[in-house]
């Protein structure tokens, strides 16, 4: 059995509907989802703001590659095209981290060029760290990843004061209508 932390983002079309679509597709495996956050674009900054969230998913038989395949299928179904690196997108689902559900929650490490785990840029992105910590702190407070994310967010905020204002929780938006996966 594996658990994966997935980051969701969208900024073109109807971003909230795209995030809700992803949550709906992931519902059979999802056991936690974060709030929706409005975030400044990262990388290519001349584009609309993003909506971002995060989910925790678990499956008795899935591998890290299976999570990647599921994420890419959902992205394709949502009309995702890969035209500009870090550019606008209808839906982006990144596998941030994946671990085995054994006694030690053993992390899955991958150097595959198509799936690097843990995600190589996660610790530099407040739009990943903030939603992820919202759910990791509650569901996995003692996981080393949770501690690493807390430390990274503290360091990011001290290095870049704009990181704090580049992400804002939007209490008017819900990843899943009604607030729970059904």
Give the three-state DSSP class for 141: coil
Residue 32 contacts residue 3 (beta carbons within 8 Å)? no
The reply to whether omega before 118 is within 30° of 0 (cis) is: yes
Instruction: Please indicate whether residue 92 is annotated as part of the active site.
Output: yes
Instruction: Please indicate whether residue 157 is annotated as part of the active site.
Output: no
Choice among 38, 94, 150, 169 that is catalytic:
94
Nearest to 8 by CA among 43, 50, 45, 47: 50
pLDDT for position 78: 86
| Alpha carbon distances (Å) from 179 to 15, 71, 113, 174 | 17, 22, 36, 6
Chain segment 9-57, per-residue pLDDT in tens: 999 999 999 999 999 999 999 999 999 999 888 777 778 999 999 999 9
Q: Which two tokens stand for residue 108?
A: 């899955």
Beta-bridge partners for 92: 9
CATH placement of domain 2-169: 3.30.70.560
Chain segment 93-143, per-residue pLDDT in tens: 999 999 998 888 899 999 999 999 988 888 888 899 999 999 999 999 999
Chain segment 108-119, per-residue pLDDT in tens: 999 999 999 988
CB neighbourhood size of 160 (10 A)? 12
Instruction: Please indicate whether residue 89 is annotated as part of the active site.
Output: yes
Rounded to two decimals, the pTM is 0.89
Q: Which two tokens stand for residue 172?
A: 């008017």
Residue 83 contacts residue 44 (beta carbons within 8 Å)? no
């Amino acid at each position: 059995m594996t658990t994966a932390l997935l980051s969701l983002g969208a900024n073109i079309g109807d971003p909230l509907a795209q995030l809700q679509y992803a949550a709906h597709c992931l519902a059979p495996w999802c056991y936690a989802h974060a709030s929706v956050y409005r975030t400044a674009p990262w990388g290519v900054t001349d584009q609309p703001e993003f909506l971002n969230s995060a989910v925790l998913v678990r499956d008795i038989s899935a591998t890290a590659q299976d999570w990647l395949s599921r994420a890419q299928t959902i992205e394709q179904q949502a009309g995702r095209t890969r035209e500009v690196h870090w550019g606008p997108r209808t839906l982006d689902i990144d596998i941030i981290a994946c671990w085995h559900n054994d006694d030690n929650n053993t992390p899955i490490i991958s150097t595959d060029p198509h799936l690097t785990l843990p995600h190589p840029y996660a610790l530099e992105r407040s739009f990943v760290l903030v939603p992820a910590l919202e759910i990791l702190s509650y569901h996995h407070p003692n996981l080393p990843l949770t501690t690493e994310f807390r430390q990274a967010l503290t360091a990011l905020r001290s290095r870049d004061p704009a990181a704090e204002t580049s992400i804002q929780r939007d209490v008017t938006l819900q990843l899943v209508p009604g607030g729970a996966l059904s």
